Chain A
Amino acid sequence: MEQLTTIGLNHYLTISAILLSLGLFAVMTRKNAIVVLMGVELILNAANINFLAFSKYNGGMEGVMFALFVIVIAAAEAAIALAIVINIFKIFKSVDVSSIDSMKE
């Protein structure tokens, strides 16, 4: 009971583990490329929670700075990935990642 009511590092790590697993599940089982991207965003958020939790309980600033950079990289990744998905849709008329099997038109 003490462990449940006093919020500590393990609580954040638990949420992060669940988000990471759900993201991996989405990446693995979905055929729609955009839902796969959403899974990647969930994984990045899980990593960020871990960075910030360790940073808080360590007292340093390294995790906070890393989390900021992760957010920037996630923004760049989402923009590029959406551009690629739109191009794939123009060429193949579908965003089903399991049916896209050729590199040329």
Chain B
Amino acid sequence: MSNPTYTFIFYLFAAITVFSAAFVVFTRNVIYSAFSLLFTFFGVAALYVFLSADFIAVTQVVVYVGGILVLLLFGVMFTNSIMQTGQKSEVTLIIPGTLLLAGMIGALLYTFYTTHGWMPSETTLQGSIVERIGFETMSRYVLPFEMVSILLLAALIGAAFLARFDKSGK
């Protein structure tokens, strides 16, 4: 896997993911955060392709970019007046937050790079795994699959019920 092109493309997508995620977090403008999140989701989807999980990558693009991001943008536009140009989000607890950010990254990376405990299996996942996902869904994971479908249905009906406008008043 030490092909230079492969390595370069990996670092490119890693940089896109990390820098756009940092922009989501550090910019004060809510709309900029939402649009930067788009690049984060695409970068993460590209990393999923590197992890030979192509089906998950497509699901990521469809669900996150097509669904969750649009929902978040709707949320931003519902809860701010469109005419108001500076939609800033206020910041609180900035010093403990920065300490937590630095401490968390430092502690996790220290642990990862000083423990030489990872022993990858000889049979890593290779190629497309769509067929194997189908088999797993219909055999070992059939009960969680059905449960999660019912949960999603209930959650979406609940969300539609909660967010509708009142019939009385207004």
Interface residues of A (CB under 8 A from B): 5-15, 17-26, 28-35, 37-39, 41-42, 45, 48-49, 52-53, 55-59, 61, 64-65, 67-69, 71-80, 82-87, 89, 95-96, 98
The answer to whether residues A35 and B89 also contact, given A25-B97, A65-B136, A67-B53 and a CB cut-off of 8 A, is yes
Q: Is the CB of B18 within 8 A of A15?
A: yes
Q: Is the CB of A13 within 8 A of B68?
A: no
Q: Is the CB of A38 within 8 A of B37?
A: yes
The residues of B that contact A33 with a CB separation of less than 8 Å are 79
Task: Indicate if the CB atoms of B53 and A79 lie closer than 8 Å.
Answer: no
Choose one: A59, A74, A76, A89; the contact of B121 (CB below 8 Å): A59
Q: Name the prevailing secondary structure of the A interface residues.
A: helix
Give the residue of A5, A26, A29, A95 whose beta carbon is less than 8 angstroms from that of B79.
A95
* B39 in contact (CB, < 8 A): no
Q: Is the interface of B mostly helix, strand, loop or mixed?
A: helix
B39 CB to closest chain A CB (Å) equals: 12
Known contacts A18-B18, A25-B100, A64-B129; A56 and B56 CB within 8 A of each other: no
| Given A7-B7, A55-B53, 19 extra CB contacts under 8 A | A5-B2, A8-B118, A17-B104, A32-B89, A34-B30, A34-B76, A49-B51, A52-B53, A58-B121, A58-B124, A59-B123, A67-B53, A74-B63, A75-B152, A82-B72, A82-B74, A83-B163, A86-B75, A95-B79
Provide a sorted-by-A list of 8 A–B residue pairs whose CB atoms are within 8 angstroms: A7-B10, A12-B47, A18-B21, A57-B120, A65-B144, A69-B148, A72-B152, A82-B75
Within B1-42, the residues touching A (CB, 8 Å) are 1-2, 4, 6-7, 10, 14, 17-18, 21-22, 24-25, 30, 33-34, 37, 40-41
Instruction: Fill in one digit per residue for B143-157: 1 if any A CB lies within 8 Å of its CB, else 0.
Output: 010001001100110
Is the interface on chain B under 10, 10 to 19, 20 to 34, or 35 or more residues?
35 or more
Against A, the Cβ 8 Å flags (1 = close, 0 = not) of B77-99 are: 01100000000011111101110
Q: How long is the Cα–Cα vector from A33 to B75 in the complex, in angstroms? A: 10
CB pair A28 B79 closer than 8 Å: no
